[in-house]
Amino acid sequence: MATTLLRKTALTVAGIAATAGGIAGPAIAAQATPAERAAQVVTTDREHGERELDVRYEAQPNFYFCGPAAARNALSVQGKNIDVHAMAEEMGTTEAGTNSINDITPVLNKETGKDVYKSTEIPVDEVGDKVEKLRADVVRTVDDGRAVVANIAGTATDTDGNTHAFEGGHYISVVGYRDGGKVVTIADSANPDQASYRMDVDELARWIASRGYSS
């Protein structure tokens, strides 16, 4: 396990404040039947290089379940409905959070297929070199009908100018893209009021820096 991936991932007090206390809450989208899922899998606009998966979103139930919640939201695009507490147990999640993306990837593979997901690290000093790989991985994964899970830390700004601050670390799902992957769609379990937003892929790469993602 790469040591640079070992970071606390529970929301800090500052991170909780940044989410306006909205980290606990019920699902904001009802579970679909298999037939409904089949009809709602993706929205695609190939002319503009856009594709977005249908997320059956649920907010995380407490401040330290961001890893299991991100994985649960990611797997929901495949029509899977997995209890977030069962995922937390498999990932070894504690009140300190989920240790690294390497604890997320095996659970995604258990539910999706052997070696479908792989962990990728983005070292701080290689962010510029990794942006294109991240963009390509998001496009490939979403085109395959799957979501990316990323371990992020710090503050990032979305395309609407809103900031998202998780100084102690956090996990998110990447569930779509536009402009050929230059802009990505994020599902964030921390705050139902900001459940979905878009971000430039280079901004996302900087947010992941020192950590990693599973695609």
pLDDT of residue 119: 98
Q: Which one, of 54, 39, 8, lies nearest residue 167 by Cα? A: 8
Q: Tell me how far CA of residue 11 lies from CA of 26, 95, 145, 188, in angstroms.
A: 19, 10, 29, 13
Rounded mean pLDDT of 163-177? 97
Percentage of the chain with pLDDT > 70? 78
pLDDT band at 49 (very low <50, low <70, confident <90, very high): confident
Number of Cβ within 10 Å of residue 194's Cβ equals 16
Rounded mean pLDDT of 81-107? 97
Cβ 203 vs Cβ 156: under 8 Å: yes
The C-alpha atoms of residue 193 and residue 201 are separated, in whole angstroms, by 22
- Residue 212 identity (one-letter amino acid): G
* CATH of residue 206: 3.90.70.10
Domain that holds residue 178: 3-214
Tokens of 165: 């601050």
Q: For residue 33, give the DSSP letter.
A: P
Q: Which one, of 180, 190, 182, lies nearest residue 65 by Cα? A: 190
pLDDT of residue 20: 27
Please count the structural domains in the chain: 1
Residue 120 has pLDDT above 50, yes or no: yes
Lowest mean pLDDT among 18-22, 46-50, 115-119, 189-193: 18-22
- Residue 39 identity (one-letter amino acid): A
Tokens of 73: 């939201």
Q: What 3-state class would DSSP assign to 166?
A: strand
The pTM of the full predicted model, rounded to 2 decimals, is 0.82
Lowest mean pLDDT among 1-15, 73-87, 130-144: 1-15
